[in-house]
Amino acid sequence: MKATHKDGDPGMGAHHDDHHHDQHSDHDGDRHDAPDGHGRALRLGIGGPVGSGKTALVAALCRSLGPSMRLGVVTNDIYTTEDADFLRRAGVLDPERILAVQTGCCPHTAIRDDIAANLDAVETLEERFGPLDLVIVESGGDNLTATFSRGLADSQIFVLDVSGGDKVPRKGGPGVTTADLLVVNKTDLAPLVGADLAVMARDAGAVRDGRSVLFTSIREDGGAHRVAEWVSDLVHAWHHRNGHAHTHDHAYDHAHDHAEGQGPDRRPRMTSSSRPRPGGSTPKELR
């Protein structure tokens, strides 16, 4: 069964009866190996606590990457379609390319344990608008343990904000430690809440085993610029890895070796062009 759309609202219930993705419905995220990526979009999961700035990041990524990439977005809310509505109103993407999943349960259930409704939404976008380069799946706000099944997301960004205090990265949890990119958002609020960004950077570095961390103030214009660069690198690596034909309409200048064998396991890396520009409002990468 394809996901249901209610009253013209493309909201999708996670709890429909006919789970044609039952093979993805067991309860061990690690067993959900991503299917062969040949011909399909990179699936990027964005998770993190309630209100940390996930939707703001999705909006910023759509604005930055939309001109050069074929995008789709899936949002998750418990009972509403609030995030999808916000993104449609913001005009960051063709409204039809934004689908809402209503989880009706703990947000992490729909991105980790029973991913059927989210997979339906991703596949619906690809059927309607494909081929796509990138489908972003925003999780509902959850706690520090929430991570995406690898059967749903090829790569994951975890968004924290500074308002929970500078102790949060030190507390770790799978979202903080294992996400491919950790974003620490709302740096503009750090002085107001007494959060020491250097402490957050140090602690995040200690628990993340070299994985990337970016500090952002997404509310500022261009505040997610470096996250957009990271994602752009990731999508291009994805195309190379899977042998997709794609135009080299790179939104961002980045280290990009077209030689065979360069793509597969290359982590996106910051290049000289992605370092903070003097006088710019780009967020700081503190590691």
Ligand X SMILES: Nc1nc2c(ncn2[C@@H]2O[C@H](COP(=O)(O)OP(=O)(O)OP(=O)(O)O)[C@@H](O)[C@H]2O)c(=O)[nH]1
Select 116 or 190, whichever has its Cβ closest to ligand X.
190
Answer for the pair 116, 14: CB distance below 8 angstroms, yes or no: yes
Instruction: Decide whether 46 or 119 has the Cβ nearer to ligand X.
Output: 46
Report the C-alpha gap between 284 and 263 in whole angstroms: 26
Q: Which does 219 bind (CB under 5 to 8 A by kind): ligand X, Mg ion, none?
A: ligand X
Q: Distance between terminal CA atoms of the chain?
A: 46
Which residue of the chain is nearest Mg ion when measured via CB? 55
Minimum CB distance to ligand X smaller for 95 or for 243: 95
By the rule CB under 5 A, 161 interacts with Mg ion: no
Give the separation between CA 226 and CA 55, rounded to whole angstroms. Answer: 16
Q: Which residue has the tokens 């009706």?
A: 104
The option from Mg ion, ligand X, none interacting with 51 (CB < 5 to 8 A, set by class) reads ligand X
Which CB, 91 or 243, lies closer to Mg ion? Answer: 91
User: Which residue type sits at 112?
Assistant: R
Handedness of CA 187, 207, 158, 241 (dihedral sign): positive
The token duo for 140 is 């509902």
CB 53 → Mg ion: shortest distance, Å?
Answer: 8
Residue 228 CB, shortest distance to ligand X, in Å, is: 15
Quote the least distance from Cβ 56 to ligand X, whole Å: 3
Q: Is 150 helix (H, G, I), strand (E, B) or coil?
A: coil
Structure tokens at 102: 């209503």
Q: Which residue is nearest to ligand X (CB)?
A: 141
Residue 103 binding target from Mg ion, ligand X, none, CB below 5 to 8 Å by type: none
Cβ proximity to ligand X, 100 vs 122, nearer residue: 100
Among residues 23 and 281, whose Cβ is nearest to ligand X?
Answer: 281
Question: Whole-angstrom Cα distance, residue 188 to residue 136?
Answer: 25
Does residue 54 belong to the site contacting Mg ion (CB under 5 A)? yes
Q: Quick one: which of 43, 45, 55, 111 contacts Mg ion (CB under 5 A)?
A: 55
The dihedral sign for the CA sequence 138, 139, 142, 143: negative
| Residues near ligand X, by CB under 6 A | 48, 50-56, 83, 141, 185-186, 188-189, 217-219
Strands 98-102, 134-138: parallel, antiparallel or unpaired by DSSP?
unpaired
Closest approach of ligand X to the CB of residue 84, in Å: 11
Total residues at the site for Mg ion (CB under 5 A)? 3
What string marks each residue from 65 to 84 as x (binds Mg ion by CB under 5 A) or -? ------------------x-
Instruction: Enter the DSSP assignment of 245.
Output: -
Nearer to Mg ion, 50 or 206 (CB): 50
Which of ligand X, Mg ion, none has residue 186 at its interface (CB below 5 to 8 Å by kind)?
ligand X
SS3 of the chain: helix, strand, coil, percent, to 5: 35, 15, 50
- Whole-angstrom Cα distance, residue 128 to residue 192? 45
Q: Residues interacting with Mg ion, by CB under 5 A?
A: 54-55, 83
